[in-house]
Structure 1
Amino acid sequence: MLLAGLAMLGPFTINTYMPSFPEMKTVFGVTDVELQLTLSLYFASFAFMSLWHGAISDSLGRRPVVMVGLVVFALASLGAAAATSIEQVYVCRVLQGLSAGAGIVIGRAVIRDLYEGAAAQRLYALVIMLFALAPAIGPLLGGWLQVHLGWRASFGFLALLGALLLGLVVGCLPETLPSAHRHPFSAKALLEGYRQVLRNVPFLLWAGTFALMFAGFFIYVLSAPVFLMRHLGLAETDFIWLFGPATAGMMAGSWLSGRVAQHWSVGRCLATGFGIMGGAALWNLSICYWAPTSPGWYLPYLFIYTLGMALVQPTITLSGLDCVPDRRGLGSSVQLFTQTGFNAVLSAIIAPFFWSSPLKLAGGAALVMVLALGGMVLAWTATRRQAIAGAVLPIGDNR
């Protein structure tokens, strides 16, 4: 439960304040692109710092890194709530990005510290299933706070959430990395660790696959105010049309992933998940070509795509970490850096390019899904070859 709560911090930070975009745009006198920069700066700083959370935790332990991150996050959220200019919001969003990733990075490493194989996949699937509630709860709560209390209330809520999680970590999170297994904290040791991880081709392919696969859904998250409020004519409190089916799909896919962990081979899991995502992409393109005006037509895509994505997410993540068994904390950092770094590019450059119509958004989502499929095939092949050569540990007994 605690690991899921730490993982939820990121989605809450992304989408809780989205229903407040129109008011913030008016209050600060900025354009859509200038307001979108609050997302881009968050993702860029999140990606940069995610490289260090895991590496530092490999040297100092898991608990200290999470606690410091939560303190900084809570203070940054208070600063955003008190901001009087868009530039102040930018600074606070950077600080939020630098700190919010500690929980999810360390959470992945904690799972691999404690569990192997199918047991690790089941626990990670459970974390994802609980984590999936955040994309639905965040904008609903943000819409309610916006209507009743205004845009500052969303950042106040994030500050309270950070403080609550800090208290739970202090009282409930054990240290899972024994001193004997820690690496020296020095520039030379860190550079050597990054050299080992960044030269591991299968690991990098798995990380890229996940980033591209996730973008097939996340392009809609980043475009939510435009897609829902401009194209579909919905209100600030109607973000459930996007995040509701997506949450249901992620929970269903995570539940299924946990159920099949001991029964399906890795190859079968990947083939099934990508087949589901491919079918969803075809549906979405077909619907958008006929340009329906009802948001109900988009529900099947959001549910089915996220179901397939959540089904394979534990397999892809753990497959990548198993390529670097001695550097799991650092490996988790690089995985998250790859995902959020791509999200920063997606937010600042790619998503706005597809804003002009629902069909363009569907085309962009389908494109990154196809690229993810290609990445998965390359990662699978490279991992098999390296495992045969004895360079990495097998991903699981049921491969």
Structure 2
Amino acid sequence: MNPDAHTLWRAPRWALAVLLACLGMLGPFAVDTYLPAFDGIAASVGATPVQMQQTLSAYLFGFAFMNLFHGALSDSFGRRPVVLAGIAVFTLASAGCALSESIGALVFFRALQGLSTGAGIVVSRAVIRDMFPPADAQRVMSQVTIYFGVAPAVAPIVGGFLFVHADWHAIFWFLTGVGLLLLVANYKLLPETLHVTHRQQFNIPNLMRGYWQLGSSPRFLMLALASGVPFNGMFLYVLSAPTFLGQHLKLGPTEFFWFFSLTIAGIMGGAWASGRLAGRIEPRRQIRRGFVIMSVVSVVNVAANFIWPAHVSWALLPIGIFAFGWALMVPVVTLMVLDLFPERRGMASSLQAFIGSVANGIVAGVIAPLVMHSTLALAVASFLMMNVGLVAWLWVRRRLQ
């Protein structure tokens, strides 16, 4: 924690949470806003469904790759420069997407978006731990998740509206405007939270020592899996939304908000509960509750899809409950990751995000195309990914006793 933290931010704590949540919202906005326009973009640029899926994969793999460096750079040069540079590149990439006239150009600029959006998400976690002690950090992390949850709920509504009333190019111009607003806001408001005495030397040997220190830690890797892989239990449905919602559940582009609203309500509710429980119950108990909720609802979801044809009246509810369980436990696991190596919190946040993002990219590029044809296959895949995180957490828990 920065010893001068009390002098860096004098506004209410929730205001900092809002600013950091706005940084984190670039990721879901970049993914969710254009999903309702998938078919329209494909028709406009002459792309196949598989090619359109690669616009997601390019973004996610770009996000995963650069996540290796955002945090490490912020450990050396400070949190603020990395955040501002990331937002600037995202803004330019969004304009490039809006001007794209071929699927190749769109994939390229989507990859550039992915390379840049991680800066805000990764560095904001380190900023929280720079500024607050553990219990307060969990509360702020939960507040960030609550505010952050608004973005994916609003994004598809905005995207569907722009697509129907303008065209798909307007969606990416909208993202360009969001980037410009965030660049101005963070330039004026975001303080530098990394204390000068905590900065790491920026050289290859020092970076390699840090990556080896974290990457060779079984506890670090298992905690990263416990937080990142279960997320894909619900993110799989986001990636498959055009097929899951449009074909299986027969929803129109402007009706996608029902799915996103329920999912984000679950995330916001779980994050709120996590903040309320901070300092009141043992962190391990809170994580256990989150996994119990995800496990039970995953089994119910598989059984329901096996017995009945999927229908909008019930098929969305299990995803929202799953999201609640994930958001209940993930702030606690994230803080455990950051506190394993206090001197390299930026790098720890980077590697945690990298592991989760690689999983996201595999799900987007490989698993989602394989299972989106069937609601039962989607439910089974979601259940299996939750179990990867559960096994990883059980491994860590046994070593904490």
Tell me the TM-score normalised to structure 1 length.
0.95
Contact 1:291–1:359 (CA<8 Å) still a contact in 2? no
CA distance in structure 2 between the partners assigned to 1:91 and 1:272 by the alignment: 41
CA distance in structure 1 between the partners assigned to 2:317 and 2:288 by the alignment: 20
Secondary structure at 1:262 match in 2: coil
1:4-43 equivalent positions in 2, closer than 5 A? 4-43=21-60
Q: Which amino acid in 2 is paired with 1:301?
A: P
Q: Which residue of 1 aligns with 2:177?
A: 160
CA displacement at 1:302 relative to structure 2: 1.7
Q: Which residue of 1 aligns with 2:5?
A: none
Secondary structure at 2:255 match in 1: coil
Q: Which residue of 1 aligns with 2:367?
A: 350
Q: Which residue of 1 aligns with 2:11?
A: none
Q: Which amino acid in 2 is paired with 1:139?
A: P
Secondary structure at 2:253 match in 1: coil
CA displacement at 1:211 relative to structure 2: 1.7
Contact 2:198–2:343 (CA<8 Å) still a contact in 1? no
Q: Which residue of 2 aligns with 1:62?
A: 79
1:334-345 equivalent positions in 2, closer than 5 A? 334-345=351-362
CA displacement at 1:279 relative to structure 2: 1.6
- Find 1:209's aligned residue among 207, 226, 249: 226
CA displacement at 1:293 relative to structure 2: 4.5
Give CA deviations for 1:252-299 in whole Å, capped at 9, x if unaligned: 100000001111111210111111111211221122113335312023
Residue 237, structure 1, aligned to residue 254, structure 2: yes
CA distance in structure 2 between the partners assigned to 1:7 and 1:167 by the alignment: 16
Q: Which residue of 2 aligns with 1:83?
A: 100
* Aligned residue-pair number: 384
Instruction: List runs of 5+ in structure 2 lacking aligned partners.
Output: 1-17
CA displacement at 1:300 relative to structure 2: 2.2
Q: Which residue of 2 aligns with 1:379?
A: 396
Q: Which residue of 2 aligns with 1:324?
A: 341
- Find 1:283's aligned residue among 264, 277, 300: 300
Q: Which residue of 2 aligns with 1:74?
A: 91
CA displacement at 1:50 relative to structure 2: 0.6
Secondary structure at 2:343 match in 1: coil
CA displacement at 1:104 relative to structure 2: 0.7
291-300 or 61-70, which deviates more:
291-300
CA distance in structure 2 between the partners assigned to 1:61 and 1:339 by the alignment: 23
CA distance in structure 1 between the partners assigned to 2:130 and 2:384 by the alignment: 36
Residue 102, structure 1, aligned to residue 128, structure 2: no
Contact 1:53–1:106 (CA<8 Å) still a contact in 2? yes
Give CA deviations for 1:212-266 in whole Å, capped at 9, x if unaligned: 1101111101100010001111111111221111111111100000001111111
Residue 181, structure 1, aligned to residue 198, structure 2: yes
Q: Which amino acid in 1 is paired with 2:156?
A: P
CA distance in structure 2 between the partners assigned to 1:352 and 1:379 by the alignment: 32
CA displacement at 1:101 relative to structure 2: 0.6
- Find 1:46's aligned residue among 63, 68, 82: 63
Q: Which residue of 2 aligns with 1:314?
A: 331
Q: Which residue of 2 aligns with 1:92?
A: 109
Residue 197, structure 1, aligned to residue 232, structure 2: no
* Root-mean-square deviation over aligned CA pairs: 1.0
CA displacement at 1:208 relative to structure 2: 1.1
Q: Which residue of 1 aligns with 2:133?
A: 116
Secondary structure at 1:327 match in 2: helix
Contact 1:47–1:341 (CA<8 Å) still a contact in 2? yes
CA displacement at 1:128 relative to structure 2: 0.4
CA distance in structure 1 between the partners assigned to 2:369 and 2:108 by the alignment: 22
Q: Which residue of 2 aligns with 1:392?
A: none
CA distance in structure 2 between the partners assigned to 1:353 and 1:379 by the alignment: 31
CA distance in structure 1 between the partners assigned to 2:313 and 2:204 by the alignment: 53
Residue 367, structure 1, aligned to residue 378, structure 2: no
CA displacement at 1:33 relative to structure 2: 0.8
Q: Which amino acid in 2 is paired with 1:164?
A: L
Q: Which amino acid in 1 is paired with 2:181?
A: L
CA displacement at 1:326 relative to structure 2: 1.4
The structure-2 alpha-carbon separation of the partners of 1:56 and 1:303, relative to structure 1 and needing over 3 Å to count, comes to same
Question: How much identity, in percent, do the aligned residues show?
Answer: 44
Q: Which residue of 1 aligns with 2:266?
A: 249
Contact 1:287–1:297 (CA<8 Å) still a contact in 2? no
Secondary structure at 2:182 match in 1: helix
Q: Which residue of 2 aligns with 1:390?
A: none
CA distance in structure 1 between the partners assigned to 2:153 and 2:309 by the alignment: 23
Secondary structure at 1:237 match in 2: helix
Q: Which residue of 1 aligns with 2:166?
A: 149
The structure-2 alpha-carbon separation of the partners of 1:283 and 1:74, relative to structure 1 and needing over 3 Å to count, comes to same
CA distance in structure 2 between the partners assigned to 1:77 and 1:291 by the alignment: 41
Q: Which amino acid in 1 is paired with 2:133?
A: E
CA distance in structure 2 between the partners assigned to 1:28 and 1:291 by the alignment: 37
CA displacement at 1:379 relative to structure 2: 2.1
Give CA deviations for 1:289-319 in whole Å, capped at 9, x if unaligned: 1333531202320221111100001011111
Secondary structure at 1:57 match in 2: helix
CA displacement at 1:114 relative to structure 2: 1.1
Q: Which amino acid in 2 is paired with 1:258?
A: G
